[in-house]
Amino acid sequence: MEAIIGAFGLVLDLEVMLVIAASAIYGVMVGGIPGLTATMSVALLVPLTYFMDPVPAIAAIVTTTATAIFAGDIPGALLRMPGTPASAAYVDESFALTRQGKADLALGTGLVTAAIGGMIGTIILMAVAPQLARFAIRFSSDEYFWLGCLGLTCAVLISGSSVLKSFASLFIGLFIATIGIDVAVGHPRFTFGSIELLDGVSFIPAMIGMFALSEILRTVARGARVRGPEQGSVGNVFAGIGRILLRFRLNVVRSSVLGTGIGSLPGAGADIAAWISFTLSKRFSKKPEAFGKGAVEGIVDGGSANNAAVAGAWTPALVFGIPGDTVTAIAIGILYLKGVNPGPLVFTQSPDLVYAVFVAFLCANLVLIPVGFAAIRLSGLVLRVPQAVLMPIILVFCIVGSFAINSTVFAVWIMLVLGVVAFFMEANDIPVAPAILGIVLGTMVEDNFMVTMLKDNGNLLGFFDRPIAAALGALTMTIWVYLIFRGVRDARRAGTTG
């Protein structure tokens, strides 16, 4: 308790508050630009933090990630270009709302639930970080394999169209994920001699191509309007939020807790947390038919989960010095530099600094509301620009955003090819979301499968050897059997009713 009060004292200092405010603005700006991830925004901060005191340095990182993850919602909702991968899960819902003239509702909900999710995640972290970490650290390749499979199953569960087409989309995504050097023997697959492809298809340009470029293509193919806005404007961002929160209060709590849990697994993170929460949202919704047409409920769940996961990712980082994601990997390096050695001892050696991380999280999520509000109002201007002017500008952003992730023009190729593929997929009612998920999780599933096989000398029963793995495996299998049953039923029904 003393440490917590001490931590508040450390953070509630004029200099630290200024750093938090500046980082929030910076985070919103970077997160709002498609192609720039939360990781990149933190990596760019590194040189600055070298010359800061520990507390402001930590506060800067924490605030930047928390705000960047939210800001990814803004271009997602307005232009169907998720700013960060963590926003990709529910981009179709928020974009559908924008097209109905309810951009303010989509973004307001995203903002408030992100802040609440972030705070719930932080509170959980304050209460049980060491215990949570103890659990997370037991996950080996067996458990991650099943977790990846469970995530893949989400792809089929969330999509509205036929199971067959969802699976087809998922397999296309998984195929894309197999491109590049394989984990078991290091053999280049489907690279056709290209050095650039050795690393596989990077996710950011793939996402920009499949969501944003395909949207541009669709718009110009319809005939972009020269004059006049199409989709209204952003009005009162907070109107009706109270009612939504009240109505979906259980969703907020469920997704925040889930998000924190998934975030605390090293290597899982905000992206996967958002997908899984979104899937549960649809499965347990009283109105699943609203999904795909602008379901606020989906935004509530996905939005609170990804920000909660940002907090959760600090669990293994603080408790064991094992990074939960790339952001915390960078953060650990900075902590070392500041003389803080993450590990079980950090809670006894420098508890005030650990709690300063938590307090910084709370402040960041509070600051997020006004800063995010301003960002939403400003970005609302985008909706006033005629499509004929907007589309070419977005195209340049897509190109630069793809280029930015690795500074290679090859990424623009990836964006172009996958954009065209997605354009034809959507024209044929093949949903894009499962393919995106396949790209995200394909490598994780395959790597962990191969590693487990290598460990167990090729014995498939090894996947059920460990208790957590066995439970996850049984759960996954059950869902699969149900899905196959549903697929067969659908096919029969299509055959009889046509």
Partner 1 sequence: MTRTLLTGLLTGTAAIAAMTAPALADCHWVPERAVTYVVPWGAGGGTDANSRMMASLLEQHFGVPFNVVNRTGGNGVVGHSAIATAEPDGYTVGAATVEIAMMHWAGLTELDASNITPIALIDIVPASVTVADDSEFGSLQEVIDYARENPGELTASGTAQGGIWHLAIAGLLNEQGLDPEAIRWIPSQGAAPGMQELMAGGVDMVTVALSEAKALIESGELRGLAYMHDERMSALPDVPTTLEAIDTTWTLAAFITLSGPEGMPEEIACAYEQAVAEAVQTDAWAEFKDSRGAEVVSMPRADLTAFIEAADANLGATMEAIGLTQ
Partner 2 sequence: MRVDDTILGAILLAFAVAVVAYAQTFPTLGGMAFGPDLFPTVIGCGLGVCGIGLMVTGVVRRRSRNGGPWIDVAPWMRSRDLAGNLLAVLAATLGYILLSDWLGFHLTAMAILALLFLKLHVRLLILIPFAIAVPLIIHYAFYSLLRVPLPWGLLTPIAW
- Among 437, 447, 445, smallest CA distance to 206 is for 437
Angle at 43 between CA 373 and CA 186, to 5 degrees: 125
Helix, strand, coil share (%) of the chain residues, nearest 5: 75, 0, 20
Interacting residue with partner 1 among 29, 168, 224, 450 (CB under 8 A): 450
Interacting residue with partner 1 among 377, 408, 470, 483 (CB under 8 A): 408
Token reading at 90: 């529910």
Stretch that binds partner 2, among 243-251, 308-316, 333-341, 384-392 (CB under 8 A): 384-392
280 neighbors 301 (Cβ within 8 angstroms): yes
Report how far residue 205's alpha carbon sits from residue 439's, in angstroms, rounded to the nearest whole number: 11
Interacting residue with partner 1 among 1, 14, 185, 461 (CB under 8 A): 185
Q: How far is CA 301 from CA 74, 79, 276, in A?
A: 16, 21, 9
- Among 69, 146, 489, 54, smallest CA distance to 304 is for 69
Burial 352-390 (b: 16+ CB within 10 A, else e): bbbbbbbbbbbbbbebbbebbbebbeebbebbeeebeeb
Establish if 330 lies at the interface with partner 1 (CB under 8 A): yes
Establish if 455 lies at the interface with partner 1 (CB under 8 A): yes
| C-beta of 137 vs 453, nearer to partner 2 | 453
Specify the DSSP element, H or E, that contains 67: helix 54-71
Establish if 171 lies at the interface with partner 2 (CB under 8 A): yes
Establish if 323 lies at the interface with partner 1 (CB under 8 A): yes
Interacting residue with partner 2 among 340, 391, 437, 440 (CB under 8 A): 391
- By the 10 Å C-beta count (0-12 exposed, 13-18 middle, 19+ buried), 17 is classed as middle
Establish if 342 lies at the interface with partner 1 (CB under 8 A): yes
What mask, x for binding partner 2 by CB under 8 A, covers residues 15 to 34? ---------------x--x-
**How many Cβ atoms from other residues are within 10 Å of residue 239's Cβ?**
11
- What 373-378 contacts at long range (C-beta under 8 Å, 24+ apart), as own/partner pairs, is 373/111, 373/237, 373/238, 375/28, 375/29, 375/32, 375/71, 375/74, 376/74, 376/104, 376/107, 376/108, 376/111, 376/234, 376/237, 377/234, 377/237
Establish if 320 lies at the interface with partner 1 (CB under 8 A): yes
What mask, x for binding partner 2 by CB under 8 A, covers residues 127 to 156? ------------------------------
Q: Within positions 94 to 133, which residues make up the interface with partner 1, using CB under 8 A?
A: none
Establish if 186 lies at the interface with partner 1 (CB under 8 A): yes
Q: Within positions 189 to 218, which residues make up the interface with partner 2, using CB under 8 A?
A: 189-190, 213, 216-217
Q: Within positions 3 to 42, which residues make up the interface with partner 1, using CB under 8 A?
A: 39-40
Stretch that binds partner 1, among 251-259, 283-291, 358-366, 443-451 (CB under 8 A): 443-451
Stretch that binds partner 1, among 206-214, 228-236, 428-436, 449-457 (CB under 8 A): 449-457
Establish if 242 lies at the interface with partner 1 (CB under 8 A): no
Report how far residue 261's alpha carbon sits from residue 195's, in angstroms, rounded to the nearest whole number: 37
Task: Work out what residue 189 binds among partner 1, partner 2, none; the CB cut-off runs from 5 to 8 Å by kind.
Answer: partner 2
Which residues bind to partner 2, rule: CB under 8 A?
Answer: 30, 33, 36, 40, 44, 164-165, 167-168, 171-172, 174-175, 178, 182, 184-185, 187, 189-190, 213, 216-217, 220-224, 226, 386, 388-389, 391-393, 395-397, 399-400, 403-404, 407, 409, 412-413, 415-416, 419-420, 424, 427-430, 442, 446, 449-450, 453-454, 457-458, 487, 491, 494-495, 498
